[in-house]
Chain A
């Protein structure tokens, strides 16, 4: 059986800028930052409380996965906010929202009471949106 999730890919427009956002705005830590094969940069970050799940911050580029045209389309979709980066959990959505907002993080929905807790929706500096969720106890 599958025991856990180790890596999840988030497509970003610029790895340097994404690293700055995920580290200095969201407070993630750098997992691995290593350049392989003359240009491919394996860059991962993780939430401090969950080091075994890493987000791979990847720029869509021409390669085995994408043609140039497809990579350009993915980049455009990322910029247009077509993709979600995931659900990031917090013990206090309002407090974390205020902290992130003060750091300049853009939100498309402020903390809102839901039957399952409190949830806000933010956007990273590539255009990926994410949920900031506080689970109801």
Chain B
């Protein structure tokens, strides 16, 4: 499938919409309308451009946000589940485990135990020069999400 520039710009609009509204109930029709495309066309172009479906993209954003909140806040798992856009704690926990290999509680316990300061990411557990070379990660602490 060839994606032209107009389609690319439209689908980027949709992705930005998903990024900003990840915590709202996911409605493919809404985001497709926002991108001035049909649902079917939006999905096809999105997958072609970004290598994942809109649903996979928003799930990724939600889980990443949940990971951050689990480490940097004391909010309950239920609160975090709702804050990132899930209404079912069961679905959220199952997806979280699938994506990270750990339950939300296990993830919080593990990462918080590694951190040198409370409610911070355990940046000291990453050899950052190596990571920088490998991934292009920056060395400053402020770059930790």
Q: How large is the interface on B (under 10, 10 to 19, 20 to 34, 35 or more residues)?
A: 20 to 34
Interface residues of A in 1-43 (CB under 8 A from B): 6-7, 9, 16, 19-20, 23-24, 29-30, 32-38, 40, 42
Report which of A19, A42, A56, A64 forms a contact with B136, defined as CB distance below 8 A: A64
- The answer to whether A32 and B143 touch across the interface, beta carbons within 8 angstroms, is no
Q: Among the listed A29, A38, A45, A58, which residue makes an inter-chain contact with B134, where contact means beta carbons less than 8 Å apart? A: A58
Does chain B have a CB within 8 A of A63? yes
Closest to A60 in B: B134
Q: Is the C-beta of A102 less than 8 angstroms from some C-beta in chain B?
A: no
Stretch at the interface among B22-30, B39-47, B74-82, B100-108: B100-108
Contact with A along B44-88 (1 / 0, CB 8 A): 000000000000000000001001100100000000000000000
Report yes or no: B101 in contact with A35, Cβ–Cβ below 8 A.
no
Considering only residues 60-101 of chain A, those with a C-beta below 8 Å from chain B are: 61, 63-65
Contact with A along B82-124 (1 / 0, CB 8 A): 0000000000000000111110000100110010000001110
Could you say which of A16, A35, A65 contacts B145, with CB atoms under 8 Å apart? Answer: A35
By Cβ-Cβ distance, the 10 closest A-B pairs, closest first, are A63-B136, A40-B135, A30-B101, A23-B101, A40-B137, A37-B143, A37-B137, A64-B136, A33-B100, A36-B137
| CB-CB nearest in chain B for A62 | B136
Q: Which residues of A contact B127 (CB under 8 A)?
A: 6-7
Cα(A113)–Cα(B137), bound, Å? 44
